[in-house]
Amino acid sequence: MTTAKTDEAAAGEAPAPPAGPRERARQRRRAARRRGGGWWPYVFLAPWFVGLFGLTVYPMLDSLYLSFTDFDLLTPAKWIGAQNYTHMFSNDPVFWDSVHATLLYVLVSVPLKLALALGVAILLNRPLKGIGVYRAAFYLPSLLGGAVAIAIVWRQVFGGDGLFNDFLGWFGIKGQDWISSPDTSVYTLILLAVWQFGTPMVIFLAGLKQLPEDVYEAAAIDGAGTLTRFFRITLPLLTPIVFFNLILQIVDGFKTFTPAYVVSNGTGGPLNSTMLYSLYLYKKGFTDLQMGYASALAWVLFLVIAGFTAVNFVAGRYWVHYDD
Amino acid sequence: MSAITPSIAPLEKLRSLRSLTGPRRILLHTLLIGVALVMLYPLLWMLSSSLKPDTEIFTHPGLIPNRLHPQNYSEGWSGSGNSFSLYITNSLIVTIGAVIGNVVSCSLAAYAFARFEFRGKKIWFGLMLGTIMLPVQAVLIPQYTIFYNLTWINTFLPLIVPKFLATDAFFIFLMVQFIRSIPRELDQAAMMDGANPLQIYWKIILPLMKPALITTTIFTFVWTYDDFLHQLVYLQQNARFTVPLGLTLFLDKTSGSSYGAMFAMSTLALAPTLICFLVFQKRLVEGLATTGMKG
């Protein structure tokens, strides 16, 4: 009696009254499917599914496999176990140079960038004439930031006879070639990153606009000064946005490639001081054709970024303040 | 009365502080103009250097050239390997292809996520958000081997086709947020009239989400145009080079005699982004401020 066929026939009309729990669940599912449009969502998602599996999931797994092989693209990959990883950690000084440069780059540039972004956003969060012009001026470098042209200009600005030394000259300071000195070269990249504080600034500004005015008025009545208001009200209320910007900028920092490549002319020099991790990965994969090794580098990068993000989320519980 | 008066004074102080009168306003403007100048100075310096003769670029640091030397532009244009017009054409093919791909594929996916219930939707949506965080370097090598096996290296396909597969999930997220703000009643009314989901997407959702599509267009254009890493990896022959790759050819020259031409081409290379910025400045800045925020 209760074959699939009669079920479907019944479902088209009013549901049969003596339906058991299993039957009712089936009806509910079917109703949900009708609301969901059956296979329609999959039609719309088809390109995305192909992209997700073909260009993300499969490549992730493939790169995990390749990271245990010796692979030069032209001959089949040869399984070598964990050799890539052991070599990386115990026997590859350039790897450690790149880790050092990248951590320095991320850990110095991100806090500076966020502090500047927040500071300028607070200055701009006033009824001020020409505020649109300021916002535009501060955001423009961020939009241009990834361009090769900017990296080229940077190289000249911090070169031996570049703009920066002219500027120092006004104060009677004798400059040097900042790009070709291993002690300072990575700081020119950091300055370039900090110069692009516009994106987090705009996001901070949007957050500042949503802060409740009455809290400030109450605080003013209680006699709270500017600094107290900033540290007791603005900053705590803004922590979700600080958190959002922090995660975004850290991930961005780890991915930085173009300026390191252009400023060092593809070498990561001097003395690997600008060998940011992404540049090292590129060189291993595409210059040296050590694609297995580069895949191992990629997985380490992926795990490090995931680790940083996870730590941020856990730590965030202690300092990020949510209203609801 | 006297009980209220003392509490009003700091409130007024706060208000006057917010509206800023007199010297404080001048101080703030001075500060902001100062910061703005520092921000824009490297760009102005590039522009001015592009108009100076080589001998003057590093010896005469002022912004205003002693004499104009527009030949930098013609020299640079015909300069390195191929003419710059080829690089610009190549860049246009790549960026226009990418824009069309992102607009089509991301809006399709966003419509599904915003308007349908289906099995595992939360998981798929979470995966989609996760891919926003995934660094490109993590998948670069296997993707390269895929395109290598398809013999797509040295073509524009590896730069364009992924965009048709909605790999820029950031824009899916942006569009989902936007579609959620479109009243569902519009879809339902159309459904009553017998429209199928494809027709609803095409005739109702797409026209209404024009602002999100414009934001996607601008950002895809700028980000693809500037995406040096992928172009460097996939385009190996000079004839296929795009603008960023063409620019790096100036760096390979060991002689320092073509600085003027290099700055001229750098300026030109930034021109499309600058024009985009000037035309859409408000939308860009505000679009950015609102997109990341919700959800």
To the nearest whole Å, the CA of B18 is away from the closest chain A CA by: 6
Per-residue pLDDT at B83 exceeds 80: yes
Mark which residues 224-263 of B lie under 8 Å from A by CB.
226-229, 232-233, 243-244, 247-248, 250-252, 259, 262-263
To the nearest whole Å, the CA of B68 is away from the closest chain A CA by: 19
* A221-230, A275-284, B179-188, B209-218, range with greatest mean pLDDT: A275-284
Q: DSSP string covering A263-301, please?
A: HTTTS--STTTT--HHHHHHIIIIIS--HHHHHHHHHHH
Give the number of C-alpha atoms closer than 13 A to the C-alpha of residue A117, restricted to the C-beta side: 31
Nearest-Cα residue of chain A relative to residue B166: A48
Residue type, A120: V
For position A35, what pLDDT does the model report? Answer: 58
The Cα A208–Cα A120 span in angstroms is 12
Token pair listed for B128: 């989609």
Q: Taking CB atoms and an 8 Å cutoff, what residues of chain A touch B40? A: 137, 140
For position A36, what pLDDT does the model report? Answer: 60
Burial of A242 (0-12, 13-18, 19+ CB in 10 A): buried
Helical residues (DSSP H) of chain A, grouped into ranges: 4-12, 21-36, 40-52, 58-66, 83-91, 93-124, 131-144, 148-157, 163-170, 185-195, 198-209, 213-221, 226-229, 235-255, 258-263, 277-282, 291-319
The Cα A281–Cα A257 span in angstroms is 10
Cross-chain Cβ contact A281/B140 below 8 Å: yes
Residues B114 and B180: beta-carbon distance below 8 Å: yes
Q: What are phi and psi of B86, to 5 degrees?
A: -65, -45
**What mean pLDDT comes out for the span A228-243?**
91
The Cα B95–Cα B219 span in angstroms is 11
Burial of B111 (0-12, 13-18, 19+ CB in 10 A): buried
Strands A69-70 and A78-79: antiparallel
Residues B176-200 pLDDT 10s: 999 999 999 998 899 899 899 999 9
Cross-chain Cβ contact A305/B285 below 8 Å: no
Among A11-15, A23-27, A137-141, B167-171, the least confident range: A11-15
Taken in order B30, B35, B38, B39, the sign of the CA dihedral is negative
**What mean pLDDT comes out for the span A117-142?**
89
A contact test, residue of B45, B115, B285 with most A CBs within 10 A: B285
Q: DSSP string covering A310-323, please?
A: HHHHHHHHHH----
Give the number of C-alpha atoms closer than 13 A to the C-alpha of residue A48, restricted to the C-beta side: 29
Which run of H or E residues covers position B36? Answer: helix B22-50
State the Rg of chain B over Cα. Answer: 26
To the nearest whole Å, the CA of B19 is away from the closest chain A CA by: 6
**What mean pLDDT comes out for the span A172-182?**
87
B12 — pLDDT class (breaks 50, 70, 90): low
| SS3 state at B167 | coil
Nearest-Cα residue of chain B relative to residue A287: B233
Residue among A43, A47, A205 minimizing CB distance to B289: A205
Residue among A136, A147, A285 minimizing CB distance to B141: A285
* A34-48, A56-70, B4-18, B275-289, range with greatest mean pLDDT: A56-70
Q: Taking CB atoms and an 8 Å cutoff, what residues of chain B touch A43? A: 197-198
Residues A324 and A311: beta-carbon distance below 8 Å: no
B136 — pLDDT class (breaks 50, 70, 90): very high
Per-residue pLDDT at A279 exceeds 50: yes
B295 — pLDDT class (breaks 50, 70, 90): very low
Cross-chain Cβ contact A43/B198 below 8 Å: yes
With an 8 Å Cβ cutoff, is B186 touching chain A? no
**Pick from B232, B253, B250: nearest CA to B241:** B232
Burial of A309 (0-12, 13-18, 19+ CB in 10 A): middle
Among A294-298, B32-36, B72-76, B169-173, the least confident range: B72-76
The Cα A162–Cα B256 span in angstroms is 13
The Cα A98–Cα B82 span in angstroms is 34
How many other CB atoms are found less than 10 A from the CB of residue A97? Answer: 17
Residues A196-208 pLDDT 10s: 999 999 999 989 9
**What mean pLDDT comes out for the span A17-37?**
63
For position B14, what pLDDT does the model report? Answer: 60
The Cα A12–Cα A15 span in angstroms is 8
Cross-chain Cβ contact B145/A55 below 8 Å: no
The Cα A70–Cα A185 span in angstroms is 33
Among A6-15, A163-172, A236-245, B225-234, the least confident range: A6-15
Token pair listed for A307: 């680790």
With an 8 Å Cβ cutoff, is B19 touching chain A? yes
**Assembly ipTM:** 0.88
With an 8 Å Cβ cutoff, is B124 touching chain A? yes
Residue type, A22: R
The Cα B184–Cα B208 span in angstroms is 12
**What mean pLDDT comes out for the span B89-117?**
96
Q: DSSP string covering A65-91, please?
A: HHTTEE--SSS--EE-TTHHHHHHHHH
The Cα A243–Cα A239 span in angstroms is 6
Q: Taking CB atoms and an 8 Å cutoff, what residues of chain A touch B172? A: 48
Cross-chain Cβ contact B141/A140 below 8 Å: no
Residues A45-75 pLDDT 10s: 999 999 999 999 999 999 999 999 999 999 9
To the nearest whole Å, the CA of B205 is away from the closest chain A CA by: 13
Q: What are phi and psi of B167, to 5 degrees?
A: -80, -15
Cross-chain Cβ contact B288/A199 below 8 Å: yes
Give the number of C-alpha atoms closer than 13 A to the C-alpha of residue B116, restricted to the C-beta side: 29
Per-residue pLDDT at B141 exceeds 90: yes
To the nearest whole Å, the CA of B135 is away from the closest chain A CA by: 6
For position B7, what pLDDT does the model report? Answer: 54
For residues A124-163, b (16+ Cβ closer than 10 Å) or e, as one string?
Answer: bbeebeeeeebbbbbbbbbbbbbbbbbbbbbbbbbbeebb
With an 8 Å Cβ cutoff, is B39 touching chain A? yes
Token pair listed for A85: 């990883």
**What mean pLDDT comes out for the span A151-160?**
89
**Pick from A149, A73, A294: nearest CA to B243:** A149
What is the phi-psi region of residue B40: left when phi exceeds 0, alpha when psi lies from -120 to 50, beta otherwise?
A: alpha
Cross-chain Cβ contact A43/B10 below 8 Å: no
Q: Taking CB atoms and an 8 Å cutoff, what residues of chain B touch A166? A: 61
